[in-house]
Amino acid sequence: MTTGRRIRVLIAKPGLDGHDRGAKVITRALRDAGMEAIYTGLRQTPEMIVTAAVQEDVDAIGLSVLSGAHMELFREVRRLMRERGLDDVVLFGGGIIPPDDAAALQQEGVAAIFGPGSSLAEIIAFVERSVRPERVA
């Protein structure tokens, strides 16, 4: 993909989950693939995540949720994204999310859910093909 600027991705750990190794691995893999990846750190609220996405002018937001609160957290981030006019920003995520919940989230506008065992190459390829070209032109 030839673009005017690199794809910008915000990786966030919403809620009280304190395990962020996966989020850090994803952030590093996206950087190694040539993207600008911003990791917001642990215990972020949906409001903090969406505010950071606006400030950083990101093309995609990736949430890492292991706490079991994925339905509420993804829904609230998606609601705030719509409220702030981020309809063209891709929302994706990963963690311990049951398949039925992942399917429900995708029906509500989450572009993809990556579970344990997903490859870094698969996640990178997803981000590259999902960001609308005009966002990085």
Phi, psi of 82 (to 5 degrees): -65, -45
* Average pLDDT, rounded, for the chain: 94
No. of helices (H) and no. of strands (E), the chain: 5, 5
Euclidean distance between CA atoms 88 and 59, whole angstroms:
8
Domain 8-130 architecture: 3-Layer(aba) Sandwich (3.40)
Euclidean distance between CA atoms 66 and 80, whole angstroms:
21
Question: Percent of the chain beyond pLDDT 70?
Answer: 97
Tokens standing for 68?
């079991």
Euclidean distance between CA atoms 108 and 130, whole angstroms:
16
Q: What is the pTM of this model?
A: 0.94
Q: Do the beta carbons of residue 73 and residue 55 sit within 8 Å?
A: no
63-107: pLDDT as tens digits: 999 999 999 999 999 999 999 999 999 999 999 999 999 999 999
Q: Is 79 helix (H, G, I), strand (E, B) or coil?
A: helix
First vs last C-alpha separation in the chain:
10
Euclidean distance between CA atoms 99 and 95, whole angstroms:
11
